[in-house]
Every structure is written in C-alpha cells, then in structure tokens.
C-alpha cells in the first residue's frame, strides 16, 4: 500500500530505513503493515487510526460506547464480520452503514454489497474495537440461542447466510488468484486457507457452531452423498466469475474433528493462452510445438507433483485438437473437460483405448511398469503419445522408464522429446523494485548486458506478498540419432546429458530461470530456490 507508506513517512518519525525493515517483517509474517507498525511500537493504534481516517476521508467512529441494534448486527453472521473486519451499525433507507478497519479493500465493498443487497456506506473504526465488538455481540447472540429453541429452526434461519458465506469465500479465493481452498475442521473452529502462488495462507476461522452447515453446503453443491461422513468423496461444481466459468474439483477426507475439504480451482481459460501464456520461452515452445506435429512418437514430461505438467499437457492437446485428429486421454481424474477430446478414467482401459484407433493419446501419469510398457509400445506402433512422470529433470525421465523395466532399444525407438518444468512465483509488476546482482555471484556472465533484475516488495495489488501468479520454467531435449545410439548401446543418463549440453546446446531449468530473472519476471532468489537440484 504505497500511499499508506507515504502518509506514514510524512506524518510520523519513521524514516525510510525503518520502513524497509517493517515492510520486510510484514512480508515474512504475511500480515497487514499497520499490524507490524503497532507490534514494533512504531505508532500507536490511535495515531494510526487518525492517519488512516484522514487519508481516506471517512468519518471515524469509536465503537466502545456505541449502542448496537441486535436486529442490524444480525444482518451479518459472525463469519462474515470476522472475514471482512466489518460490523453493521445502522440502516438508513437503502443505505447500510458499516464500520470497518479495511475501507481501502475494494473487495470488501463489492462483496458486502452483494451479501446485504444494499448500498454500503463505510465509517472507519480501529481493528481492535471491531474485534472486541464482534466477540461481545456474537457471544451474546449464541447464549440467547442456547435457550429451548429448536435446533432445526436455527439451522434454517442460518441457511441463507451460510450459502452466502460459501459463495463469498469462493469469490474471494478467485479474486486472490488462489489455486486451492483448504477447509479444515479443528478442535474449536473451521479453518479456511487459500493456496496462492504455491503457498498456503490463513483467511478465516469460522465458528465451530457453523461447521456442519458449511460442510453440508459444500457437499450439496459438489453432488456428494450428504449423509456419508466416514469415507472420502470426490466431486466438482462450477461457478461464474465475470465472463468465465470456473470449475472446482472437490475432495473430502474424514478427520478427527470432521471432514476436511480441498477445492482445486480449474480455470480452463488458461489452456487457450498457449505455451507462451504458461511462461515457456520462445525457444522451448518452438521445440515442443514442432515435436507435437510429428505423427508418432513419445513426448515425455517430467517434474515433481505440483509443477504444472498436467496443465501443459492439456494446453498442448488443446492446440492439437482439430477435426482431423482423434485424441484420447487416460487419466486418474479428469482435470479439464475439452470438447472434441475423448477422456477416459482408469489405466485399466488403456488396452481398449488403443484398439479405438486414436491419433493422439495422453496419459497423465506413468506410475508403474505396465503403464510404461503401454506408453512406449503405443508410440512405436504409430501413435503420438504425450505422457508425464515424476523425475528430477528431463533426461532423468529416461532412467525412470528403464527402472520400470522398459528396454533401452524401445525407448530409443519411441522417444522424440524430453521436457521438464517447474513453477516459479512471478514478481508483481506493480511493485517490484530494481536490484543489482551481487558482485561475488559466480554465474552473472550468463545474463548478458541487457538483463535487468528486480526483487519483490509488496503492495495492495499482490496482497503485500510481492508476487502475482506463477510462470513455468522449462527445459527440453530433442532426441536425435546420437542419443538413440547411446541408448541402444546402454549408455548412461549422464552420457546423454553431457552430449545434450555440448552438442545440442541444451538449456537447463536453471538457465531458463536465469533468463526469466534477467527479464524481470522472477527474482534471482526465486530462480535459485526453484532450481536448487541443478
């Protein structure tokens, strides 16, 4: 929040050096800057409240002596009040006056307007006073409901707010760019976290009393058996986000304190961005596209879980998807549904798939010797096969196939391209700041004279993380006659790697990471962190 930083520097005794230290603490802890300033004793809550109120031209209201109307307060469930640090005060015609400690967060205004179906008017109140009011008012409400009131009636009264809460959590997750939502029952609450740019972040701790209603709502929209609590279940649902339809893949797992849910976000729009949209460098994208135009052979993707292999496979299939080609996928779980492609669940159906005369076959994960054998023989028999497995780098994919019992001469006959990738956090382009390469950095000569380096800083746009989205780092090895000869002679993977570097000018994952660091897309620290095994 650059304007807040400027206001604080201009109106307090804090200097630039101190501010940089506070921003560093804020980044590590993942909490608002104002909380860091208060914790470090740099400013008091009262001073910050005065600055904050004056800065956004909102009236300031102390809640310590405010007389709340229970009917107005009950327009929000406690979950919403805590999620948005806001509490309703007065109703004036179509206007609902709300006290908040987050008046600059546009999502608060938009979400609460949808939730309340009213025109929202904000006043600013300190965060500690809002939290105290929430604890005091909702505790009182719970005690009142402990009288002899039918519990079914209470649930029915909460049903609409619970539905809205779930909808708001989903919308909020999409606004934050989350890839997953974790909903985890704990001893005294229901914990909700988002995975953003590969890192889990706490978002909300909903009251335990709301747990069953929230989980029942998730079961309903995911088409689960709502009466089953003892076994895991899988499902999916779709929501509209702007002009796009977003699908959530849902899985549940029974735990000590209730069923844990994980909602995985599947945005099919990313498949239409192509390899370049995923972050592939121009050279690697060209090599991969050229290999995918061949009528037969094996393109083998490797990388750890969560490295984006499946998304890249689907993106490639989307580009191959024409009326002239019959494309079939064999998957454990269908991540993206693509019109015009036949998608089959379960590897036990692989033999039947090959008898269907496909032109292109995609297998999302080679896990065992039987699948590896099917993949290689399909590629030798005239099919273009795209497959993924877990290995450290592109060339190591060969050793994984050999470990699974595939003969080297079959690999030599089928393999046309090796590809490996990782996902790195992209710098937020709105707040990144220039950085210099350390003088003692041993590999600075690889960057070239035009390279420009940046580091993360943090702003409102990126939720003060310094990062916004992720980008693919990749390496590709095109299989030529010499590599095939090495395989047939049962040469080692190290020989293949050495040949690729010397003769094919093979660029490693780290080379690609350094390229993107020099383009200002990722930080140098991120480039090194992601490719440490290199």
pLDDT tens digits for 191-206? 999 998 888 888 878 8
Give the end of a domain, one of 266, 300, 331. Answer: 266
Are 353 and 494 in a shared domain? yes
> Is 430 contained in some domain?
no
Could you tell me the residue range of the domain that residue 86 belongs to?
A: 2-143
> Is 301 contained in some domain?
yes
Between CA 316 and CA 275 the distance in angstroms is 7
Give the end of a domain, one of 90, 110, 143. Answer: 143
Between CA 259 and CA 501 the distance in angstroms is 50
Are 356 and 504 in a shared domain? yes
Instruction: Enter the pTM of the model.
Output: 0.67
pLDDT at 71: 82
Are 137 and 254 in a shared domain? no
Are 349 and 255 in a shared domain? no
Q: What is the DSSP string of 91-118?
A: EETTEEEEEES-TT-HHHHHHHHHHHTS
Mean pLDDT of 50-70: 70
> Is 526 contained in some domain?
no
Using one digit for the tens of pLDDT, what is the confidence trace for 27-58?
A: 666 566 666 777 788 887 667 666 655 554 46
Contacts of 71 (CB under 8 A, 6+ apart): none
Are 307 and 391 in a shared domain? yes
pLDDT band (50, 70, 90) for residue 5:
low
**Mean pLDDT, the chain, whole residue set:** 81
> Is 518 contained in some domain?
no
Are 334 and 411 in a shared domain? yes
Query: In this predicted structure, which of 2-16, 362-376, 414-428 has the lowest mean pLDDT?
Result: 2-16
Are 478 and 332 in a shared domain? yes
**Sign for the pseudo-dihedral over CA of 64, 70, 71, 73:** positive
- Answer whether residue 241 shows pLDDT above 80: no
Query: Per DSSP, which regions of 371-501 are E strands?
Result: 384-389, 415-427, 433-435, 453-455, 467-478
> Is 216 contained in some domain?
yes
> Is 199 contained in some domain?
yes
CATH of the domain at 256: 3.30.450.90
> Is 151 contained in some domain?
no
- Answer whether residue 424 shows pLDDT above 70: yes
Give the end of a domain, one of 112, 143, 174. Answer: 143
On whether the CB atoms of residues 78 and 137 are closer than 8 A, the answer is no
pLDDT at 151: 26
Are 337 and 483 in a shared domain? yes
Are 280 and 415 in a shared domain? yes
Mean pLDDT of 116-123: 76
On whether the CB atoms of residues 69 and 133 are closer than 8 A, the answer is no
Are 394 and 316 in a shared domain? yes
Total structural domains within the chain: 3
Mean pLDDT of 467-492: 90
pLDDT at 493: 85
pLDDT at 149: 23
pLDDT band (50, 70, 90) for residue 10:
confident
> Is 375 contained in some domain?
yes
Say what percent of the chain tops pLDDT 70.
84
CATH of the domain at 491: 3.40.50.300
Are 375 and 494 in a shared domain? yes
List Cα–Cα distances, 472 to 180, 203, 503, in angstroms.
Answer: 18, 27, 25
Are 277 and 393 in a shared domain? yes
pLDDT at 141: 47
């Amino acid at each position: 929040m650059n304007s807040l930083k400027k206001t604080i520097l201009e109106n307090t005794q804090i200097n630039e050096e101190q501010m940089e230290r506070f921003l560093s603490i804020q980044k590590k802890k993942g909490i608002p800057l104002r909380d860091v300033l208060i914790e470090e004793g740099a400013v008091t809550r009262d001073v910050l409240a005065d600055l904050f109120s004056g800065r956004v031209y909102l009236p300031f209201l102390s809640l310590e002596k405010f007389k709340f109307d229970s009917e107005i307060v009950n327009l929000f469930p406690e979950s919403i009040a805590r999620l948005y640090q806001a509490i309703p005060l007065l109703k004036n015609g179509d206007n609902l006056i709300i006290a908040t400690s987050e008046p600059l967060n546009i999502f608060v205004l938009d979400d609460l307007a949808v939730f309340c179906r009213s025109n929202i008017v904000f006043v600013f109140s300190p965060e500690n006073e809002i939290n105290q009011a929430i604890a005091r008012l909702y505790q009182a409400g719970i005690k009142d409901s402990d009288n002899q009131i039918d519990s079914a009636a209470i649930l029915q009264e909460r049903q609409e707010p619970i539905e809205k809460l779930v909808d708001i959590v989903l919308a909020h997750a999409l606004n934050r760019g989350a890839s997953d939502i974790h909903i985890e029952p704990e001893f005294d609450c229901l914990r909700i976290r988002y995975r953003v740019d590969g890192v889990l972040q706490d978002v909300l701790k909903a009251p335990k009393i709301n747990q069953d209603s929230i989980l029942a709502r998730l079961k309903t929209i995911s088409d689960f058996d709502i009466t089953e609590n003892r076994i895991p279940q899988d499902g999916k649902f779709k929501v509209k986000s702007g002009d796009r339809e977003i699908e959530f893949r849902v899985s549940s797992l029974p735990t000590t304190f209730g069923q844990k849910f994980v909602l995985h976000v599947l945005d099919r729009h990313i498949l239409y961005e192509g390899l370049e949209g995923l972050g592939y460098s121009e050279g690697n994208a060209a090599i991969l596209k050229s290999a995918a135009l061949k009528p037969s052979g094996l393109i083998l993707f490797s990388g750890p879980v969560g490295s984006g292999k499946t998304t890249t496979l689907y993106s490639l299939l989307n580009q191959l998807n024409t009326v002239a080609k019959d494309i079939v996928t064999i998957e454990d779980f269908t991540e993206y549904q693509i019109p015009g492609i036949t998608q089959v669940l379960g590897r036990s159906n692989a033999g039947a798939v090959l008898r269907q005369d496909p032109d292109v076959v995609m297998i999302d994960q080679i896990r065992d010797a039987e699948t590896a054998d099917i993949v290689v023989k399909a590629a030798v028999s005239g099919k273009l096969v795209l497959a993924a497995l877990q290995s450290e780098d592109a060339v190591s994919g060969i050793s994984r196939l050999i470990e699974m019992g595939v003969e080297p001469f079959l690999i030599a006959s089928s393999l046309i391209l090796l590809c490996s990738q990782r996902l790195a956090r992209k710098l937020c382009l709105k707040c990144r700041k220039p950085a210099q390469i350390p003088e003692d950095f041993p590999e600075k000569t690889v960057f070239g004279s035009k390279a420009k380096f940046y580091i993360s800083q943090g702003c409102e746009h990126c939720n003060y993380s310094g990062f916004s989205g992720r980008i693919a780092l990749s390496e590709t090895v095109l299989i030529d006659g010499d590599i095939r000869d090495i395989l047939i002679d049962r040469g080692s993977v190290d020989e293949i790697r050495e040949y690729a570097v010397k003769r094919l000018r093979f660029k490693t994952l780290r080379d690609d990471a350094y390229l993107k660091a020099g383009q200002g897309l990722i930080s140098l620290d991120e480039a090194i962190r992601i490719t440490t095994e290199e």
